[in-house]
Structure 1
Amino acid sequence: LAAPVHQAFVALQQVIAQDLLRKDWEKAAATVRRFAPYFGEEDPRVAGLLDLLERPEEGLAPIPLGETVNSELGEYAPVISADGQLLLFCRNMGNNEDIYAARREGETWGAPYPISALNTAVAHEAPLAISADNTTLLMYDGGIVKYTDKETGGWSAPRNFFPDAYKPEWQGSTTFASNREAVLFAARSMDLVGVRNDDNIDLFVSLRRPDGGWGPPINLGTVLNTPFEDRSPFLHPDMRTLYFSSRGHGGLGSLDVFTSTRIGDGWLEWTEPENLGKEINLPGRDWGYKISTDGTTAYFSGDAPGKKEELFQVAVPERFRPQPVSTIRGRILGLDGKPARAELILEDLSTGEPAGRIQPDPETGAFFVTLPSGRLYSYTVEGPGLYPVTNNIDLRDNETALEVEENIEVPTLEEIQKGDITLPLKNLFFDTDKYDIKPESFPELNRLAELVRAYGLKVEIAGHTDYVGGAEYNQALSQNRAEAVRSYLLSRGVEDGQITARGYGLDQPLATNETEEGRALNRRVEIRFKRNE
């Protein structure tokens, strides 16, 4: 919209502001109708404003996070961890602003504590985002976006997020994609939609490079960005649903919260932004919304009577909730029961593309993974001197969120070379009653072939079945599947003398054959490492 029209719309918002605060939607709508002819019949902002006011209420009510968290000093910039157990925020200390944290205790939050390693006596520090595995924190530090990594005993010294060559003129709210392959952020730079000025802020994406650094900022385009303020992005762990605040898409106040959905696997196609509605957005500046992993709750900061700001939570309207996200949590441990120095690497088996890299907690080995629906994933745990352990989770036909708990034991290569260790090949797939290896199996078998070659290992491929079909049938099926794996490994350069294949049929069940879950455990192919002579 042209500048005079924009100014007129802002004036209209100010006229209805008190009615909005009183929730007198009918009076506010009547005022908008009275002034609508002056904007023209097709003005999208006015039509959108009227639509928001005429929508039925959903009974949403912001709830303060409580006196344990909120103080007279003022709190803002909430960040909620993907597992919902950690709350980070900024507390106004008067002379400066510091990062605080609180841990969930049942349905409430424990006493907040300052993260002393990240706070200074003079600068303004605030949290921006934390990675899904809770090991990397993005923070605002005296006008610069920095990052810090979780280490044994605390957090590393903050480092600049972007190198000078890519650093925007100004960078604000920044959010991780849950797979850590991209970050979305608000910035003021040369590549803006509209005229370059202090009031024009756009949303950008930067993609992770193969060396682990970040590529140049890419403007997310005109569907999201306007010639005015577009800021405070939050990408939900579903990797699709974006929440952000905008002054340029119209609405009820000077900044309203909107949502848009990513189209396809790129970053430049988005659905038209939708306003979250009159019970979420107020006449002022609504921004900084963070959504829980289950998609039901938003956390934000807002004005409170007698205080500067405080933290709230509010239910997310049903129609604006993200897609279901499944989670895997557990610990990564060595055979000695101690935390393993490892990394959990996710892969989309249908495309072969990376789906994320997760760092377990260096002190406890705990990890937490979020996975969008509709894909078949593998995850591999690997690290220096470790044998890579794999598994998979199939979300292709899943329409609800799964919660999986799994502790992963990772042997060292030294332990493998000593032999007498048997491990399942979890990412090995066959059609029912068949022994042709499916393509989704190739990444794991390729890794296995490389290790067997590199370390001169001797192994047996052991096939097992459930009891459906009888002993003779299952003996043949298990032998054929073991032979199929052996043939594939030979084709990848493993020496004939390093590998044998044997089918055990139904003779060595791991679980009962009376349930489908038990039969699924019994249908397996294992690799048995023999002692090197």
Structure 2
Amino acid sequence: MKRVILIVFALLSLVSVAFSQPSKKAVKAYESAEEAFLKRDYTKAYQHVLKAIVEDPNYAEAWLLEGEIGMETKDYDMAILGYEKALACDSMLFPPAAITLARLYDAQGNYKREAVLLRWYQSRASGNAANDVTVSELLELARFRDEAISHPVAFDPENLGSEINSADDEYVNALTFYGDHLLFTRKMNRGNGYYEEEVFVSQKADDGWTIPEPLSFESFPDAIDPGAAFLSADGSKLYLTGCGWGRESGCDLYVSHWSVDQWSMPRKIEGSINTGSWESQPCVSADGKELYFVSRRNGNADIYCSRRNADRSWGEPQNLGAPINTKGSEMAPFLHPDGRTLYFSSDKHIGMGGFDLFMSRRGEDGRWQEPVNLGFPINTQGDEINFFVAADGKTAFISSQREGGQGGYDIYTFELPEEIRSDSANYFSNVDVTELSPGDAIVLQNIQFEFNSSALTGDSQSGIEILSRFLKRNPELRVELAGHTDDVGNANYNLKLSSDRAEVVRQALIASGIEENRLTAKGYGATKSLWPNDSDEHRALNRRTEMIIID
């Protein structure tokens, strides 16, 4: 209302400089309209302003007041007409009206007309520092949105159906590494303004998804309202948000461990992760070394990252800062198992309106690069917040309000356009390095050899590259490369063949930049078979190269 009163007083001072003097009847009707408006009697104000406009169709002040009446009564068609007519009659009567009109065009998706109006303001009415900044920001948004709509990205969302979605809100949380289980949070309306959140899990079936069931915990206090869950890549740990557990307000981050057939009682993450403020939406890197989450500890909702210490405790959280965080709110971080692609939502980065989804790549220097908007129509004028990408790097899940849904926010799946995909995850992506101990062995599934030879197959180079990247990301690891064969042939020959194969892998890794002193090679022949050598299938599984953790 303060803005409106200022405009009315501005009009009083400008009446004497209008291009043409309105008739006395028009002025009298306008004054009555103005009086009623200041008393917030908008019905009477509109009746009188119409009389003023009928008496003088070029009465700019009356048209401007009609625009203000439309804003106050939320009749935006009336507001647009009033402002358009006012600016047409006398564009310099009150130029800031162009800013309000531009916002109305934006809400209608009329970005071209908005841009034209804002460029007019810059060329004819600039001079107020605050307004000039606003106009520049609005013009940048209008240009982006017009370009985004003119060049939409490929987007064919499929609603997960009534098995998953309901009339309540469903927010996607996580998909297991192999894509066979889906975790999501349902926000249920219990009436009288009370909402309750609960985490559900559904299993992939041949024809869709099974009926979701609430997560089963060993014990769970009734007072806690759980949500925003995230599953570790190896499936052994569940990170979740708990609100109202032992505190009057706010939320904290908890972790639960899988034991036999249920999750342990969630325990608050120790250290400086939680504060007296609000922490939510956890995401842990596939290697278990980084914890991303959202916190309001400094006012705005920002994304933070904590890294594992040598003793496996979480280190002091660091605000990601620019270019990820802004003066607005950043939410729902998701680090893909490739370890270098971060998806998140923001209401301040250049977007379509509300919260938009963005992607940032981690550079070779470890820094996050300038975020990229996922594009229209993935992003809309509404809020797109919760987002998850499967291990294949292209299958995405999104929570969004769209026509034809079950009601509220539904979960959809779709294939990401090529330019905003992450790298396809590999068998190392679900290895929690912090859980590895000396003696642990990992089968190198993508490294194969020619028959009865120590020569790598042509497609094994990708396996060498994957292993090399893993070792470079974890420079503290020293490993043994262990070669194994089946029991066909002479034992001494198999022992030498397995040793030669292990050494070939070692040399390939050294050539890729891994330090020699981190690698040893040893052959075991057929002495450590995983399966009885009683079938072709079992013998194939026994022919393998392993990486064994030394320290």
Shift of 1:172: 2.1
Seen in structure 2, the aligned counterparts of structure 1 residues 309 and 49 have a Cα distance that, compared at 3 Å, is closer
**1:148 and 2:288 aligned:** no
Deviations 1:416-467 (A, max 9, x none): xxxxxxxxxx99xxxxxxxxxxx9996328xx9xxxxxxxxxxxx9999999
Q: 1:80 aligns with which of 152, 175, 198?
A: 175
- 8 Å Cα contact 2:484/2:544 also seen in 1: no
Q: 1:225 aligns with which of 285, 303, 325?
A: 325
Structure 2 contact 114–142 (Cα < 8 Å) conserved: no
Does residue 273 (structure 1) correspond to residue 371 (structure 2)? The answer is yes
Partner of residue 132, structure 1 = 233
Q: Deviations over 1:148-198 (max 9, x none)?
A: 1111131111111243576373212221111011011221224xxxxxx4x
SS at match of 2:427: strand
- Amino acid in structure 1 at the alignment position of 2:175: I
Offset at 1:90? 1.6
Asked if 1:257 is matched to 2:379, the reply is: no
**2:127 pairs with 1:32:** no
The residue that corresponds to 1:335 in the other structure is: none
- 1:51 corresponds to which letter in structure 2? E
Match of 2:288 in 1: 180
Instruction: Give 1:228 deviation, angstroms.
Output: 0.9
Bigger helix share: 2
1:392 counterpart (431, 434, 444): 444
Map 1:119-518 → 2, pairs under 5 A: 121-142=222-243, 143-163=251-271, 167=275, 169-190=277-298, 197=299, 200-264=300-364, 266=366, 269-303=367-401, 307-327=407-427, 356-357=433-434, 388-392=440-444, 443-444=479-480
Matched letter for residue 335 of structure 2: L
Residue 232 of structure 1 deviates from its aligned partner by 1.1
The answer on whether the counterparts of 2:302 and 2:325 sit within 8 Å (CA) in structure 1 is: yes
The equivalent residue for 2:106 is 16
165, 179, 186: which one pairs with 1:70? 165
Q: Does residue 1:110 correspond to 2:189, yes or no?
A: no
Distance 1:401 1:109 in 2: 33
Cα distance in 1 for partners of 2:312, 2:398 equals: 31
Distance 1:401 1:314, change over 3 A: farther
Read off the aligned partner of 1:311 and give its amino acid letter: I
Query: What's the TM-score once normalised by structure 1's chain length?
Result: 0.59
CA contact (8 A) 1:244 1:257 kept: yes
Once the 2 structures are TM-superposed, how far is the Cα of residue 271 of structure 1 from its aligned partner? 1.5
Q: 1:9 to 1:282 in 2, by over 3 A?
A: farther
Deviation at 1:278, TM superposition (A): 1.1
Alpha-carbon separation, structure 1, partners of 2:201 and 2:99: 40
Offset, 1:97: 1.8
In structure 2, give the amino acid aligned to 1:68. Answer: E
Q: What runs of 5+ residues in structure 1 fail to find an aligned partner?
A: 1-7, 20-26, 191-196, 330-343, 347-354, 359-379, 403-425, 428-438, 449-460, 485-491, 493-499, 505-509, 512-517, 528-533
Question: How far apart are the structure 2 equivalents of 1:136 and 1:172?
Answer: 16
- 1:54 pairs with 2:90: no
1:31 Cα deviation from its structure 2 partner = 3.1
CA distance in structure 2 between the partners assigned to 1:501 and 1:164 by the alignment: 46
1:206 offset after TM fit, Å?
A: 0.4
Q: Summarize deviations over 1:220-274 as a string: whole Å, max 9, x none.
A: 12111111111211111110111111122121112110101001263xx122111
2-side partners of 1:113 and 1:522: how far apart? 41
Looking at structure 1, the residues matched to 364 and 107 of structure 2 have their Cα atoms a distance apart, in angstroms, of: 39
Q: Distance in 2 between matches of 1:312 and 1:480?
A: 50
CA-to-aligned-CA distance 1:8-52 (integer Å, 9 cap, x gap):
999856633444xxxxxxx43443344355434996545433432
- CA distance in structure 2 between the aligned counterparts of 1:166 and 1:220, rounded to whole angstroms: 17
Aligned partner of residue 307 in structure 1, secondary structure: coil
Does the CA contact (< 8 Å) of 2:172 and 2:397 recur in 1? no
Q: Could you give the per-residue CA deviations for residues 199-223 of structure 1, whole angstroms, max 9, x where no partner exists?
A: x222111001122210011121211
Q: State how far apart, in whole Å, the 1-side matches of 2:171 and 2:103 are.
A: 25
Structure 1 distance, partners of 2:339, 2:145, is 29
Q: Distance in 2 between matches of 1:401 and 1:17?
A: 49
Alignment-mate amino acid for residue 111 of structure 2: A
Measure the CA separation in 2 of the matches of 1:401 and 1:523. Answer: 16
Distance 1:130 1:228 in 2: 28
Counterpart CA distance in 2 for 1:41 and 1:441 is 49
Distance 2:306 2:234 in 1: 20
- After TM superposition, give the deviation of residue 67 of structure 1 in Å: 0.8
Query: Does the aligned pair in 2 maintain the 1:79–1:88 contact within 8 Å?
Result: yes
TM-score under structure 2 normalisation? 0.57
Instruction: Map Cα deviations across residues 388-408 of structure 1 (whole Å, 9 max, x no partner).
Output: 445435689979998xxxxxx
Give the 3 Å change call, closer, same or farther, for CA 97–521 of structure 1 in structure 2. Answer: closer
Give the direction of change, closer, same or farther, for the CA distance of 1:45–1:211 in structure 2 (3 Å limit): same
Question: 8 Å contact 2:216–2:263 — kept in the other structure?
Answer: no
Q: Using a 3 Å threshold, how does the CA distance of structure 1 residues 126 and 400 change in structure 2: closer, same or farther?
A: farther
- Cα deviation 1:469-502 (Å, max 9, x = unaligned): xx9xx899769969x9xxxxxxx9xxxxxxx999
Structure 1, residues 328-365: CA drift from partner, whole Å, max 9, x if none? Answer: 79xxxxxxxxxxxxxx9x6xxxxxxxx7256xxxxxxx
> Larger radius of gyration, structure 1 or 2?
2
Aligned twin of 1:495 = none
Amino acid at match of 1:203: I
Measure how far apart 1:283 and its partner are: 0.7
What is the total number of aligned residue pairs between the two structures?
377
- The alpha-carbon deviation at position 321 of structure 1 amounts to 0.4
Question: Equivalent residue for 1:336?
Answer: none
Indicate the residue corresponding to 2:47 in structure 1: none
CA distance in 1, matches of 2:352, 2:411: 21
- Please say if residues 297 and 313 of structure 1, whose CA atoms lie closer than 8 Å, have aligned partners that are also in contact: yes
Structure 1 stretch 216-225 or stretch 168-177: which is displaced more? 168-177
Q: Go from structure 1 to structure 2 and tell me whether the alpha carbon gap of 1:243 and 1:328 turns closer, same or farther (over 3 Å shift).
A: closer
**DSSP 3-state at the match of 1:326:** coil
Q: Secondary structure at the match of 2:480?
A: helix
- In 2: Cα distance, 1:163 partner to 1:441 partner: 26
Counterparts of 1:111 and 1:255 in 2: how far apart (Å)? 30
Q: Secondary structure of 2:162's partner?
A: coil
TM-superposition CA deviations, 1:90-141 (whole Å, max 9, x none): 2233252211111110241001111242765454211331111111111111
